[in-house]
Structure 1
Amino acid sequence: MKRFLTLIFVISLLSCSKDEELSIPKTIDPIPSADVPVQNFMWKAMNFWYFWQADVPDLADDRFQDAENYTEFLESEEEPGVFFDNKLLYIEDRFSFYNSDYRELTNSLAGISRSNGLEFGLVRKADSEEIFGYVRYIVPNSDASTKEIERGDLFTGVDGVTLNINNYIDLLFGENDTYVLNMADFANGNIIQNDREVSLTKEAALAENPVFISKSFEINGITIGYLMYNQFTNEYDTDLYEAIQGLKNLGITELIVDLRYNPGGSVNTTRVLASMIYDTNDDNIFLRKRYNDKIQDQLTETQLVVNFTDRVGSNTIDPLGLSKLYVLTTASSASASELLINSLEPYIDVIQIGDVTRGKNEFSTTLVDDRENSYLYTPTRVNKINSDNQWAIQPLLGRNENADGFFDYTDGLVPDIALKEDFGNLGILGDQNEPLLARAIQEITGATGKRSFTVENPIEIMTSSKMFSPFKDKMIDDTVYDHVITLD
C-alpha cells in the first residue's frame, strides 16, 4: 500500500503557540472493575468530535455526575454496535457507523476490500418484494474479471434462491466466500431468469484503482477528455494526476468527469482534482468547515478554511484552467463527488448530467481507542491503540460549505440535464454512444442529430455493492490543519 489514508490533525507542538491548541476536556471515567472499554471509548470520542453532540442528551457534558452513574449507562447495552446506534447517534444522522476491527475499516478507506470484483446495483421490482441486480462494471484483475459476466448482465438469484428484500444481504454480502449468481434476461419489459450461472469468489485485499477510464474524443474539431473516476482514494492520487496530465497533453478543451458510481472518499483528493481542473491559486477557498460548537469556538477562520492547492505529492499541478466542467451523476454519486461539484460551482460552470445525487455534505474521520492522540487514527501509532479494544468508529464531524457558503443539499444535487440510466440500455462505459456520455458530448458539440435519449427502463436504485463495503459513502477529512490537540 502506498500510504494510509488518515486525518492529519496532530503536528508538532513546537509549531504552535499555546493559544492555537485545540483542547479535549477531561470527562468521567467508569469504575475500574467495569468491562466496558469499547463503550467508554465510543462515548468519549463522540462527546468531543460528534457534529450533533449538543443535540444528543446522552452526549451532554453534564450528563453524568459520578463514575457509578456513567458506568451504569455504558453497561446498558452489552453489544457495542447497539450502544453506538441506540444511545449516541442523532436521529437525523444517516451516515455515521462503526467497525469491530479498525484494520478492516482503514483498508477499505485505502481502496482495499474483500471482494470478487463485481460492482452492481440492486433494484426492487415494482409491486413486489423481489429484487434483481444489474452489473455496473468489473474491477480489473479480480475474480469476476476471469468469468463470463459483463456490464449490463442481470441476475435474480443467488445459489438458486430468488433475491428479495429480506434475504439479499445474507446472500450477497454475508460470510460466504463463494456464491453462484442465477442470471436473467430482459425481454418484452420483463426480467426472466435463464439457465446461466456464474460462480464468483471473494478475495481478500482486492485493491481497486479508482481511475477506471481516461481517454479523449475528437468530435467536430473539439478535443474532449473523459475521466471515469470511481472513488476519491488518496493512495491513487499519482494515478489521478497522471490521468489529468495525460489529457492535458492531448490538448483537451472540454472535460467530462464520470462520477456515477463514485461514493466519495478523501477531501484532500477532491481538492487536488478540483485544482487540476480549475486553478492552483491557493488564495481561492475550496471549502469552509463547520464543526460542533465545542470545536468551532476554539479554531480561527484560517484553520477552518481549505484552499486550492498546487501540489500532488511531489508533483506540481499544471491545471487545465477550464471554465466549464461536465459531470455525470446517479443516485450513487455521494459525499466527495458532491463536494467536487459544490466546491467548483463558485468558480466555473458545472453542468451536471444524469440523476439526483445521494445528498451527503458532512465529513467524517476514523476514530480509535488512542486517547493520547485524541482518538484520531494515525498509522504510525497503531501500537498505541488500546489492546482491549480494536473497534473503530466513523462519526460525522461536521459539514462542508463552498466559497459562497452553500451547503444545503441533503436531498441531493439536482442535475441540469436529467437522464437516468436504463437497465435495458446501459451501453459500454467509455464508448461515445453510451447514453450519459453521449448526452454530455451532445451538450458540448451542439450536434443533436436524430438520436433520442428516451429512457424506457429507468433505474430506480435501491442499493449497490459499494454500499456494503466498510467505506460506503463517506467523505473523509484528511486535510492538514495548523493546530494541535491536547488533553486536559
Structure 2
Amino acid sequence: MMNLFKKSTLLCLALISLTSCFEDRDDNVVLASGINDFVWKGMNIFYLYKDEIPDLADDRFTSDADYGNYLNSFSSPESLFESLIFDRQVTDRFSFIVDDYIALEQSFAGTTKSNGLRYYFFSDPQNASKAILVIRQVVPGSPGATANLKRGQFITQIDGTDLTPENINSLLSPDSFTLHFANHNDNGTPETSDDSFTSNGTTVSLTKTVFTENPIHQSSIIDVNGTKIGYLLYNRFNSNFNQQLNTAFGTFKSNAIQDLVIDLRYNPGGSVDTARLLASMVTGQFSGQVFSKLVFNSTLESENINYEFVPSFDGTAINSLNLGKVYVLTTASSASASELLINSLKPYITVIQIGETTVGKTQASITIYDSPNFDQNNINPNHTYAMQPLVANSINVNDQAVPGTGLVPDTPLEERVLNLGVFGNVNEPLLAAAIANITGSGRYRPQSQIDAILMHVPEDESKMQDMFIDSDHAPFITRQHSFNN
C-alpha cells in the first residue's frame, strides 16, 4: 500500500493534469460561483461515472467565461451535483451531497441523535388510509432501550395523532414525541384481512439523544443438541469497533463453535476494511489472498486497490475461526459492505444466505471536502458542504460485482410483522431456518402468503446505505470515507 507521501504526490500530479486549465481563473470563478466550483472539480476527478457525463469531460470548457457561466447557471450546489449524476434511478441511486459534513462524519462513526428505535410500517387491514408502526429493533443503550421497549410492539398513534402513510415520516421527525401502543387481534383466523389493532392505553414518551451505537447488537453462543452455533447480530461495519468485533470472535473461538450465523438483516454497510477484517475472522486460512478489489474511473485506474485477507490489524492478532461455511441473514435493508462480505467470501467458502434479496449496491464512495486536496486539511471555512459520490466498483477475486438487483438468498424467507420473533432466540424465523440447515432438523418450505403484510421502512432509515473506503486505503484522501449506507 502506498504511503501517505506518495499519495499526496500523486494527488498533486492528478490535480495539476486535470485542473491546470483553471489556474488562472480560480479567483474569478470562486467569487462568482462559490461552492459550485468545488462541486464540479471534485466530481471531474473522482466520480466513478465521469466518462458517462459530457459536462464532466476535461475539455468541456473553452474559456474562463465559459466555465463561469456554466457554474452560475445552477441555482444551488445541490442542483449542479444532481445534474452530474449518471442514471439516477438505476445505476447511481446512492451519491449525495450534504451541507453539514460534521453531521455526516458523526453518522459514519455511529454517532447520531436518535431514540434508538427502528421500525416497519404497514397499512391497517381495516382501514388502508391508516398506518401501523411495529418496532423492528431497539438499539442497546438508547432511550428506547431505557424505556424497555421491545421488538414486535405495535404503535397506532404519535402524540395522539393517527398514523397514515403520508404523515408517518413527519411524526417521527421531532426530537421528542409520545408513542401510543396497541394490541393485535387476529380474530381467530390465519388471514390478515380481518385483523385489528386496538389501543391498549400504554403510552411512552421519548426524547432523542446523541449517542454512539455499538454495531455489535448481540453476540451469543447457541447450543442445539450439542452443536455450538455462534450468533452475531451486526448493525454496521464501523471501524471504531474493530477491537470489540475481534473480541466477540475470540469468545466464539475459545468456545470452539462449529457453525456461525452472521445477522446482517438491518446492516446498511460501512467500512470496506472492516468487512475485510470480519471475513478474516470468519476464515483465517486465506491470509495474503485477495478478498476484494476496488476499481476506480479511467482517470484514477492506477489507484485500483486490492484488499487481502489478513492475520492481524493494529498490532492485534485476529481471532480466526477457519470456517469453510458461514450462514448470513439478510433483508431488503442489507446493503453495501454487507453485500461485499457475501460476494467476496463466496469464491473461498460456502455462504448460505437466508432471508430476503439485498439492496444491490456494488459501488464505493468517499467524502470529498472543499480543500486544496479534497481532504480534511485546510477545508474552506466559509461553508460545510461535502460530497459523497460513488468513486469505485467493488468486485470479488473473480471480478464479480454485486448485481444491481441485489443478492438473492439461497433460502428465501421474509420477515413478517406479526411474527418478528426475538433476536438470538432459536424460534426467531430467520435464525430458526439457519439452525434447521445446520442441524438437518428440518427443511425450508415456501412461506404461506396468507399472513403476509406489505411492509415499508420509514424514510430516514432507508437513506444510509453505505460502504466506505477508509483513510489508509483511499487514493489521495487522508481520512475515513464511505462505501455508500
TM-score (norm 1): 0.87
- Aligned partner of 1:80 among 77, 81, 105: 77
Contact 1:267/1:479 (8 A) holds in 2: no
CA, structure 1 residues 434+71, in 2 after alignment: closer, same or farther (shift >3 Å)?
A: same
Residue equivalent to 1:257: 262
SS at match of 1:294: coil
Structure 1 position 444 matched with structure 2 position 438: yes
Contact 1:182/1:193 (8 A) holds in 2: no
Contact 1:421/1:459 (8 A) holds in 2: no
- Residue 412 of structure 1 and its aligned partner are, at CA, apart by 0.8
Name the stretch that deviates more: 125-134 or 421-430. 125-134
Cα distance in 1 for partners of 2:4, 2:129 equals 52
Taking the TM superposition and a 5 Å limit, the aligned residue runs for 1:250-399 are: 250-279=255-284, 281-296=286-301, 298-299=302-303, 303-371=304-372, 373=373, 375-376=374-375, 378=376, 381=377, 384-399=378-393
Contact 1:9/1:480 (8 A) holds in 2: no
Name the stretch that deviates more: 231-240 or 36-45. 36-45
- Residue 85 of structure 1 and its aligned partner are, at CA, apart by 2.1
Cα distance in 2 for partners of 1:161, 1:317 equals 51
CA, structure 1 residues 70+21, in 2 after alignment: closer, same or farther (shift >3 Å)?
A: closer
- Residue 254 of structure 1 and its aligned partner are, at CA, apart by 0.4
Structure 1 position 474 matched with structure 2 position 466: yes
Taking the TM superposition and a 5 Å limit, the aligned residue runs for 1:31-46 are: 31-32=28-29, 34-46=31-43
Contact 2:249/2:319 (8 A) holds in 1: no
Residue equivalent to 1:5: none
- Residue 124 of structure 1 and its aligned partner are, at CA, apart by 5.1
Structure 1 position 59 matched with structure 2 position 56: yes
CA, structure 1 residues 458+405, in 2 after alignment: closer, same or farther (shift >3 Å)?
A: farther
- Residue 343 of structure 1 and its aligned partner are, at CA, apart by 0.4
**Superposed CA offset, 1:84-142 (max 9, x none):** 22444543310011221111000100010011111222345689464432211211222
Contact 2:363/2:393 (8 A) holds in 1: yes
SS at match of 2:267: coil
Cα distance in 2 for partners of 1:483, 1:395 equals 14
Contact 1:422/1:455 (8 A) holds in 2: no
Taking the TM superposition and a 5 Å limit, the aligned residue runs for 1:66-465 are: 66-91=63-88, 92-123=91-122, 128=128, 130-173=130-173, 176-188=174-186, 189=192, 190-194=195-199, 195-204=201-210, 206-279=211-284, 281-296=286-301, 298-299=302-303, 303-371=304-372, 373=373, 375-376=374-375, 378=376, 381=377, 384-448=378-442, 456-458=450-452, 460-464=454-458
SS at match of 1:82: helix
Contact 2:10/2:476 (8 A) holds in 1: no
Amino acid paired to 2:288:
D
Contact 2:97/2:386 (8 A) holds in 1: yes
Cα distance in 1 for partners of 2:389, 2:101 equals 13
Cα distance in 2 for partners of 1:485, 1:334 equals 24
Cα distance in 2 for partners of 1:355, 1:57 equals 38
Cα distance in 2 for partners of 1:364, 1:37 equals 24
- Residue 452 of structure 1 and its aligned partner are, at CA, apart by 9.9
Amino acid paired to 1:66:
S
- Residue 394 of structure 1 and its aligned partner are, at CA, apart by 0.7
CA, structure 1 residues 397+32, in 2 after alignment: closer, same or farther (shift >3 Å)?
A: closer
SS at match of 2:220: strand
Amino acid paired to 2:267:
N
SS at match of 2:333: coil
SS at match of 1:63: coil
- Residue 48 of structure 1 and its aligned partner are, at CA, apart by 0.8
What's the RMSD between the two structures over aligned residues?
2.8
- Residue 196 of structure 1 and its aligned partner are, at CA, apart by 3.3
Cα distance in 2 for partners of 1:398, 1:475 equals 11
Amino acid paired to 1:199:
S
- Residue 47 of structure 1 and its aligned partner are, at CA, apart by 0.9
Greater RCO, 1 or 2 (C-alpha within 8 Å, sep 6+): 1
Amino acid paired to 2:391:
L
Amino acid paired to 2:307:
V
Percent identical across equivalent pairs? 36
Contact 1:136/1:151 (8 A) holds in 2: yes
SS at match of 2:4: coil
Amino acid paired to 2:79:
V
CA, structure 1 residues 21+391, in 2 after alignment: closer, same or farther (shift >3 Å)?
A: closer
CA, structure 1 residues 412+370, in 2 after alignment: closer, same or farther (shift >3 Å)?
A: same
- Residue 451 of structure 1 and its aligned partner are, at CA, apart by 10
Which blocks of at least 5 consecutive residues in structure 1 are unaligned? 1-7
Cα distance in 2 for partners of 1:450, 1:70 equals 60
CA, structure 1 residues 146+266, in 2 after alignment: closer, same or farther (shift >3 Å)?
A: same
Amino acid paired to 2:51:
A
Cα distance in 1 for partners of 2:264, 2:145 equals 22
CA, structure 1 residues 292+163, in 2 after alignment: closer, same or farther (shift >3 Å)?
A: farther
Cα distance in 1 for partners of 2:451, 2:461 equals 23
Residue equivalent to 2:14: 23
Cα distance in 1 for partners of 2:30, 2:96 equals 28
Which blocks of at least 5 consecutive residues in structure 2 are unaligned? 187-191, 479-485
**Superposed CA offset, 1:177-212 (max 9, x none):** 1122233333222352514332221112x1100011
- Aligned partner of 1:11 among 4, 7, 30: 4
Contact 2:181/2:202 (8 A) holds in 1: yes
SS at match of 2:260: strand
Cα distance in 2 for partners of 1:51, 1:93 equals 10
Cα distance in 1 for partners of 2:36, 2:451 equals 47
Residue equivalent to 1:4: none
Contact 1:21/1:483 (8 A) holds in 2: no
**Superposed CA offset, 1:278-330 (max 9, x none):** 1264431111222111111x34xxx5322111223221113100000000010
